[in-house]
Amino acid sequence: MESLGIIVAFYLLSAIAVGGAIGVFLASDLIRALAFLVLSFVATAGLFLTLSGDFIAIAQILIYAGAIPVLIVFAVMLAPLAGRNNGNGLYLVPGLALGAAVAVTVAFVAVDVEWNELSGALLAERDFATTANAIGNALVGRYVLAFEIASVLLLAALIGAIVLVREDEAT
């Protein structure tokens, strides 16, 4: 945190992200909740940008603001009851409990960890041009096993989806 501008940006983006998340919770219309969700995701991408994580910010927009809403849109279009005014709070209490648990965990980690703070010359020393190269090298270098497992998992999911929706040719 060097100048005031980035602090203002941090609080502004955080406010938008948290406000969007609250909007998701309060909106009774599923599509409105979706719009709030996208707002929250975009603000989170902005937070990543203030941390110079360009790749992760773009990935956030691509996956969370671009792809996840489409998934929800498909759910809305395919499910008969997911139309307007679906504000029946069947899972209100378990949802609140789960959310509180996640929030407490994250808060505990954030407070408990000794964050390695760098600023000024120390930060400039560790500076690298882009995170894309570093992430790519890490993915096919140190974490190649996890990467391969994830790709096998995705392939299995893909094949499973094809098998599930395949029309039976005998009938």
Contact set with another protein (CB under 8 A): 2-5, 29, 31-32, 34-35, 38, 54-55, 58-59, 61-62, 65-67, 69-70, 73-74, 77, 84, 129-130, 132
Provide, rounded to whole angstroms, the least separation between the CB of residue 138 and another protein. Answer: 16
Query: Could you tell me where the DSSP H helices lie in the chain?
Result: 4-26, 30-50, 54-60, 68-78, 92-112, 121-125, 131-140, 144-165
> Which is nearer to another protein, 105 or 151 (by Cβ)?
151
> Which is nearer to another protein, 34 or 47 (by Cβ)?
34
- Nearest by Cα to 19 from 1, 3, 55, 43: 43
Provide, rounded to whole angstroms, the least separation between the CB of residue 101 and another protein. Answer: 30
> Which is nearer to another protein, 80 or 94 (by Cβ)?
80
List Cβ neighbours of 44 (8 Å cut-off, separation of 6 or more): 13, 17, 60, 64
